[in-house]
Structure 1
Amino acid sequence: MHLLCVDDEANFLDLTATCLRRKLPAATIHTATRVDDAREIIEAEPIACIVSDYEMPDQNGLELLHTVRETHPELPFILFTGKGSEEIASEAISAGVTDYLQKRGPEQYDRLATRIRHAVAEYQTEHELRERVKELTAIQTISDLLIEGDGQSGGHLRQVVTHLPRSLQFPEEAVASLTIGETEFTSPEYEPPVDQLTVHDVTAAGTEVALTIGYTATTVTEADGDVFLPEERELLTTILQLVTAYLDRRRVLSDLQAADHRLNLILENTTAVMYLKDTEGRYVFVNTEYERLFDVDTEDIVGRYDEDIHPPDVAEAVQANDRRVLETGEPLEAEEQITVDGDDRTYLSLKVPALDAAGEVEGVFGVSTEITERKKREQQLEGLNRAIPRLLSAETVEDVAERGVIAAREILDLQANAIHLYDAETGTLDPVAYTDGVRELIGEPPTFREGESIAWRVFEEGAATAIGDVQADADIYNPESPIRSELHLPLGEYGILMAGSPTPSNFDTQDVTVGEILASHITTALSQVTTEQMLRERETELEAQNERLEQFASMVSHDLRNPLSVAIGNLELYREAGDESRLDTVETSLTRIQDLVTDLTALARHDTLTETHEPVSVHEVARDAWESIETRSATLSTEPCTVTGDPGQFMALFENVFRNAVGHGGDDVTVRVGPLEGGFYVEDTGDGIPPADRDSVFDHGYTTGYGGSGVGLTIVSRIAQAHNWDITLTDSPEGGARFEFRTTDSIETSDR
C-alpha cells in the first residue's frame, strides 16, 4: 500500500516516515512538507491513506482534509498532530477525519501504524464493496432493460447500448456498440472509438456477438498503461452474456413458454432432495422431494436430527459425512445408503459448508440424487464382464444358450427369459434354453416360424427392442398369453434372446442397452463355438481323407500285387519256353489289373461328401445304369421314385449294385428298384447273402469269387455315406438280396 505523510517540519516528517517503514515494511511511504506537493502526490500515486500534521503554513491539516475530500471522498485521512485539544479533536471529527492521534512519544508510532492498517483495510473493503455494487447495479440495469415489456428485441438492444456507458459509470464521452451477426446497434452520437474494449460471445444458434465500449478521444497517456481495468472487462463480459442469453431467450421464446409449465412440474417433482443442517446436525430446511420421500413437513422436521428420521446405522453414516464437511470446510461428494420405506437406496450426495455473512461455517447444505439404478447397471456390467469367460468356454451352442439364459436371469434380473436359435433346415426359431420363469408363465416355449411373431420380426430386423404392450402389437404370437411386455435381443444370424413380464412396460431403454451387451457376448460365444465345430468337422474330414488315402494306397498295393506277379511270372515262362498258352494267362491278369484300377479309381472318386443336391429320378438313373453294364439276360423292374442327391454318384451306385446282382444271381436274375419311406430299395431274385456275411460285404476286398474286384459294394457304401444314407441289407421276397437306402437327413423323397 502507498502512504502519504504530510508535515512542514522535515525532521519530524523523516522520523514519522522511518518509524512507519519499520512498523509497515510492505508499505511505500511518500512524504511532503508542503500542501501543494501533497496534492500532486495524491493525484500521481495510488495513495491508500494520508497521515497529516495539523499546523502547517500553507493550509492546516483540516483544510488539507477538505481539499482531499473534494476528489477522494472516501480516502482514509489520519490527523497526527502535536497540538491537541478538545476543540481540534471535535472539529476534526466533524470534518470527517478517519482518526485523530497526538504526537506524545515513541509509543504513539505503534498506535499510528495500527490505526493505518485498520483504516486501509476498512477502506479497501468498502472500495471492493462499492465496485461490486457498481457491477451489480450495472448488471441489474441491463437485465431490467432486457426483460421489461414484450416489445421488439431491437428496441431493447438499442436501449442497452444507450444506457451501457452510464451504467458502467464511464465518462460522458464514452460510446458503445453491439454487433449481432451482420446487425449493429450503437449508442447516440456514436463515433468509432479511439480506445475501445471489446468482448465476444456466441449464441446457441451459432451467431457471433460482440459488445464494445470506448472513448472517442484518448483519455490517458502512454505512461498511464491500460485504459481499461481487468474488472471492467469481466463486467462487460458478464453484460454480454446477459445479452447473449436474452437473444437465446428471444429465439426460443415460444418453446420456453410451452416448456415453462413442464419446468415447474420438474422442479416441484424433482427426485433430488435438498436440505440444510446447522453445525449441531439439526435440520433447518428441506425441499418438497425430501418431504415427499420421508412423509414429513418442513415444520415437523426443522430442529430434528438424522437419528429421528433414519435407522441408527444410516444416521451415523450420514452424520459422519456432515462432520467431514464441517471439519475440513471443503465440499464432499459421497455415496450414501438411505433406507426409504424399508428399501435400501443409494444416493450420490454433494455436501458443502454453509457460510454465514461473516464467512463462518454455520452448517451443511446438501443435494442428494438417487443413483440406485445406476449402481445396479454398474453391477450388471461388472457381472457381464465376469460372464464373458464362462460364455466363451462353452463347447456347444446348447451350452452357450444355457449359460446365456442363466446370465440374463442372474445378472440382468430377467427372471423369465429364453434363447431361440435359428434352424436353417427347418427355417424356424427353436427354443434351446429357458428359465423356470418362462415355464411358470407360459409352459413350454413355442417354435417360431417366419412372419408369425414379434420375435421373428425382431430377428429379421436385427435391432434390440422393448415392447411395452405386446397386446397392442400386430405381430403378437399368442393373444391369450399372460405376458404383457417383452424384451427382444437379436443374436445376429444365430437367433434371439427373449424376456417377458406380466407387467406392462416392464423394460426400458437401460434394459435394452445392457441387454445388447449380453447379447453381443452370447453372439460372440455362438460364433466361436460354431467356428470351432466347423474346424473340428473339417479336421475330422481331413483325417478321414488321409485315412482313406492310406487305405487306397494299401488297396492298390495289395490288390494289384497278385495279378501283376502272375502276369510277370507267366511272361518269363513264355520267354523261356515259348509256350503261347502263357500269354492267355498274362492277358487274364492284365484284364484283372485293368478292372481293379477302374474300380479303385471309382472308389476314390466317390469317397467324399457330395455337394450336389438336386431332385433325381431314381428309376430313370437306374435304367441308364442298367444299359451301361453287361447284364446278359437279366431283367430290370423299376417304380417311379425321386430323391435328392448327386445324379453322377447315383449312376455309379446302381452300376455297382447291378453288377453285384447279375454276378451273383445268374443270367436270368430279376432286379427291382422302388420307393421306400425316406428312400428307395434295390432287390434281386438271386441266392441272397447269408446273414453271417452281411456285416462284411461292404468291406473292401470282400468277394465270393464270381470274378469281381471286391470293391463294388465298398463304392456303394461310400456313396451312401456321402449322401448321409443308412444301408440295410436283408432278404427279398424270393430270398435274394435286398438293399434299402434311407436318408438320415430331412432330404425330400417322393413317388412320381
Structure 2
Amino acid sequence: MIDFYEPDSQRRVRQIIDNAIKDGYAEGDELCLETADGERRIVEGNAELVETDENGTLLRGVIRDVADLRERQQELSRLQQAIDGANVPITLADPSQEDDPLVYVNDAFEEMTGYPPNETLGRNCRFLQGEDTNLEKVATLRETIDSEESVTVSLRNYRKDGTEFWNRVTVTPIYDDDDELVRYLGTQQDVTGRKEREKRLTELNQATQALMTADTHQEVADIGVEAASGILDFETNAVHFSNANDTQLVPVAHTESVTTLAGDTTALPVANSIAGRVYRNGKPETIEDVQQDLDTYDPSTSLESYLYLPLADHGVLIAGAQKQGAFDQEDLTLGELLAENLVAALDRVERKQELREIKNQYQTLVDNFPDGAVFLYDCDLTYVRARGEELQKVGLSPDDVVGTKPHALFPEDTADELCYYLQEALEGNANTFEQEYGGERYRVRTAPVRTDDQETDYVMAVSQNITEYAENRAHLKQENERLDEFASIVSHDLRNPLRVAEGRVELIRDECASDHIDDVAQALDRMDALIEDLLTLAREGSRVDEVEQIGLANVATNSWQSVKTRQATLDADAPQVIEADRSRIQQLFENFYQNAIEHGGDDVTVSVGVIDDGFYVADTGPGIPDSEREDVFEAGYSTNEDGTGFGLRIVEQVADAHGWEVIVTESKEGGARFEITGVEQGA
C-alpha cells in the first residue's frame, strides 16, 4: 500500500506506522497518493494497534479523501475574508445558545456602532436599542426570528457614544446540510439620511397644508420663512416680494437671525443684484462664495454663501450661511420643493382674492340689477339663488323664492313655458323669450352654467322688465307704418304730378323757345332728387338686411359707375375686406361721390383708402370749414343751391345702421375727408 503514495508521503506514512506501534495511535494529513487509474488524491490517515481475540495485535489503518473538504474550507476562508472586509455591517448570532448571542461581527459593524467585538460578542444585539426605539417593531422582529423567517425592519438605534441613528436591519436564518438552523445572519444599513429626508418631506407636506389655508400673501410668506428655518434648517432666510412696478424685491418676512447677522433687511433692486437675477431668470442658484459674484449687492455682508429660490412672478426666497459652500444638492432640491409650494399658495391667494372681488361685484350687480332679477336653478329646476330689484316690485323676497319651483310662484302657463326653456338650458341650449306677469312684460334669457368638466349642473335666468320698451316698440311700429304710408303717398301722389310736369316742359320746349324752360326743368330735377332722398331716408332708415364680406375697392368702384361722374377721377386704393350690407354701403359711397362732385366740380378727384379700424373717402374740392363740420350731417343742410341737403344725412344713417362712426376732416389737398371707423374686418 505504501507504494501508492508519493515519495515524500511514503516517508510520512512510515512515520505514522512507527508512532502507532510505539504509542498505539498516530495520524497525519496532507498525504498524496496515486489511484489505480492514475488520479492524484489528497488524503488524511491514521493508524491504530488493535488487540485480537487470540491475544494478538493488529495495526489498523484508515484513510479519508479530504480534497472536497479542503476546497470547502478554502471557500469558507475566502467568504470569511469577504465578510470581514465588506462595507456592509454584518453579524452572526447563534440560535443554539440562550438569547441568541452574537458570535461574529465584522469591522463595518464596529465602524457604524462604535462597539468593538469584545463588547458585542456573546451579547444579544438589543444593546443597540434605547428609550425611543419602537417596541412594536422590536416585537415584530423577535416574532419573525422565532418563526425562522427572514425579516427587515427600520429601528431607531444608538451608538456607543449615545448618538442615535436609523438602522435598517435584515435578519436571515442559515441552515446546515441537514436543514438544522445554525446561525442568524444580520445585515445593517444606516438610513438616517433617508429617514431625515422622509421626515422633512412629511413636515413640508404639513407646511403645504397650512399654506393652502392662507388667505394673504403675508401669511404665505410667514409660513414659508418658518418652514425654511424649522424644516430645512435654513436658520437665516427671508422672503422678498416684487413691488408694484417690478423694480425692487421688498422684504416681507424673515427669521430673527437675519436681523442678528445682517442688521436689517433691505429692498433689493431687480436690475443689479443676485436676487434680481434669479427673479428675472426664474432659476434657483447656490452661491458658494458671495464675494466672488459680480451681482453682489452688499459686499459688506457677514454671510458668505447663499441659496436663492425664485417664487415665479411673486419674488424670491433667500437663505444665507456664515460659511462658504454651506448649501448642497439636497438643500437645493428640498428648497425648490418648498418654493414650488409657496408659489402654488401665492397663486391660490391671488385667485381667492380675485374670486372674492368677482363675487362681491356679482353680488352687488344682482342685488341692484335694474328693472330685473337674476335666478339660479339646480338640475331639479329648484331656485338656488334669487336677487334683483324686480323681486321686491312684484312682492317677492329672495327667501320667498329660494327652495321653490316655478309652478309654486307663477301661473301654470307661465311656469310651463319657463320650465321648458330651463330644461333646454340643462341640455346645453341658451334661449331668449318674453313673458307677462303681474301686468308687466319681461324678457328672459336662460343659459347653462357649466362646471370645469363641462357638465351642466345649474341654469341661470336673467329676467328684465321691458314693459316700457315693449310699449315704445309698439309705438315705433305704428310710427313706421305711418312712415311707410307717407312714403307711399310721396312716391305716388307727388311723383305722378311731377312726371306730368316734366312731360309738359318737353312739349313747351318743342313749341317755343324760352330761357325760363331750362330753369323749370332744373327745378323739376331738383324736386325729383329731393323726393328720392326723402324716400331713401324714410324707407331704409337704420336697417341693415344682410351683412357679408365685401371687398372695399370693389364696392367703391362699382358705386362710382352708378353716379354721373363727368370728368371726375376715382382713386380706390383699398385692398381691405369688410363686413357690411352691400346695398347700404353702395348708397354710402354714391352719396359721398355726389357730394364731392357737387362741391368740387366736374374734374374733382376722389380717393378711397384704408385707415386703422376703417376707411376714408377724400376729395380735392374746397373742403368744409371747421365751423360747419358738425352741421353737414343734418337733414336739409347744403351749401350748394342745387343740392338736396340729404346726401350726407343718408351717409350718417348708413354708418349708424352698421354701428360705425363717421367724422369729417380735411384731406391732404385741402378738400373734404370723411373717416369711417368701427368697421369690422373680413377674413
Bigger proportion of residues as strand: 2
Bigger proportion of residues as helix: 1
Same fold, TM-score > 0.5, yes or no? no
If the length of structure 1 is used for normalisation, what is the TM-score?
A: 0.35
